[in-house]
Structure 1
């Protein structure tokens, strides 16, 4: 039973920093190892869970049908926080596994997705209420977000600069693929931003940040 991985983050910042992606990737890889299966491909999406138009997910589903594979995700809410969307995926005939609920039947998956959708709606309502209350008090909205974004960018830039020499060293040693560079960084004991494992996608993002072409 070949597996096709699907990872999703909600913001571009999370994708660049690796936050969330490394944990999801580690989760599906560990599960695949436990059941003795191989993940043939991994598709990464940057999109809100409330949106149905997701090209990477569509590509993952096409790959699943073509290879007669099962879609594997770390958590059900990475697939969707929308009951109707989960139902449509089931009806499309693509099998999928959520690592956080691997033995859930279709009824349980519907219930879990319903809870996820309800949670998303409640978070949205609380956020709107909090913003409205803050605005009524005269608080200037968006200021903290801009500061946090600047801090996150600075941290990502700093980490990229720290690993730049190791990436250049890998290139000098003849590593010509992102996978080879990731393997080199791992062997050298170089840490990722969240102290996770190095993956080709992580290397590509950092090299893009550093404007390094290979």
Structure 2
């Protein structure tokens, strides 16, 4: 028993397959509906769904063109707060990584690896992966050393 046929499904094939499988249902809004009426109502419901989808998409495109910022404002502020938390967490992970690498880079410098290229090569030879698992480059070593500067200029 269902309240309205269009609440069961807007997919005509689904409703017709239910009927074909022998599932019997009665809609309160049309208890006298036979298989023909149910089939017609299912096709009409599916067509209505497509029209609603088309109108909604067109309205969203028009709103964006007018410069409307879509979404609920409270959700947007939550999104901004989440992005800020993500950036802070990423900065903490990077800071920890830089602290872990500082003594290694200091030891490499003591062994004679002075240039950024030499440090990158030494890190790759030792099998120490870069932050994303790749190999070290001059640019990555430069970023690590720049991040270490405020922490401790002597150990980095």
TM-score (norm 1): 0.37
- Larger fraction in strand: 1
Larger Rg: 2
Structure with the bigger RCO (C-alpha within 8 Å, sep 6+) is: 1
Q: Which structure's residues are more often helix, by fraction?
A: 2
